[in-house]
Amino acid sequence: MEHVTVRLDEPPVVANLGVAVHGVASRRDEFLLPELWQLHLYGYTAELTVDGTTHPIRPGHVSLVPPGARVSYRYRGRSEHFYAHLRLPGQGAALTVPVMQHAGVDTPLLTGLLRHAVAVAPTAPAMAAAEVWTVLWRVADLAASGKPHGAVAAAVSHVEANLAGPLTVPDVAAAAGVSHNHLTRLFHAETGHTVVAYIRRRRLERARHLLRESTLPIPAVAAAVGFDDLQAFNKACRRELGASPRAVRAGAAGHGTRASVTER
């Protein structure tokens, strides 16, 4: 077994989780869980065989095994891993996930989430389930096709965290660890828009939300999305939202920005 199909639109029901210790009494374990999924995060070197397919285990690897699959572990000595045994409700879009994959830079995050889930499970099982749900989504995302280039993802993250402040393409490129020109090429190839157009669109989407859903004064809304000039904010709202800030607040504009974003 190389891949499994999961649906994660609803939270898992966690039957048990913790830190398991293996490879002490025996260098081999073989078993199955008839009704439960198995989620494991490893910190050692070993082998896992799932329904006849052998997967090497290395520190930072994470596995997801479906109910009823027969598993066989071969250890090299004392081996500890985080585990969660769970039921998945089966609602939502089908996601294809490798049985075994390396978490890479996400390893510390997954480790922290599972460690916290184990700690709170006795007193706050719902919180523990939420942490495990987050881990499952992150594990599914590791193998997701169409993921943005790392520099584009870093650029988007920087923009989203700094919409209220000054944002220039060189600054965004520096935060993403690439040159201005390289980011411009990558960003347009992946999104179809320039960095400037993306910044403008996200600022106006946030402005629309604040105008429609809050009582913040319009100057405060403008400042919250990086406009220190009310005239410029008014023009941007008319161009991107199709109405003035007051009209947007009154509900004259639609719920979406215009389909095409003018690139300047």
pLDDT in tens, 11-38: 999 999 999 999 888 999 999 999 999 9
Q: What is the pLDDT of residue 259?
A: 36
Q: Are 7 and 90 in contact (CB under 8 A)?
A: yes
Question: Which of the four pLDDT bands, split at 50, 70 and 90, describes residue 90?
Answer: confident
**CATH architecture for segment(s) 3-142:** Sandwich (2.60)
CA distances from 190 to 62, 102, 233 (A): 28, 25, 28
- Where does residue 140 fall: left (phi above 0), alpha (psi -120 to 50 degrees), or beta otherwise? alpha
pLDDT at 62 over 90: yes
pLDDT score at 131:
97
pTM above 0.85, yes or no: no
Domains 3-142 and 150-250 alike in fold: no
The predicted structure's pLDDT at residue 161: 87
133-191: pLDDT as tens digits? 999 999 998 876 556 667 888 888 889 988 999 999 999 999 888 899 999 998 988 88
Task: Decide if pLDDT at 253 tops 60.
Answer: no
pLDDT of residue 147: 60
Residue 262 has what pLDDT? Answer: 38
| Structural domain spans, the chain | 3-142, 150-250
Question: Which is nearest to 103 in space by CA: 134, 77, 141?
Answer: 141
What is the topology classification, in CATH, of domain 150-250?
A: Arc Repressor Mutant, subunit A (1.10.10)
In sequence order, which residues have a C-beta less than 8 Å from that of residue 187 and are 6 or more positions away?
Answer: 152, 155, 193, 194, 195, 198
pLDDT tens per residue, range 185-226: 989 888 888 999 999 999 999 999 999 999 999 999 999 999
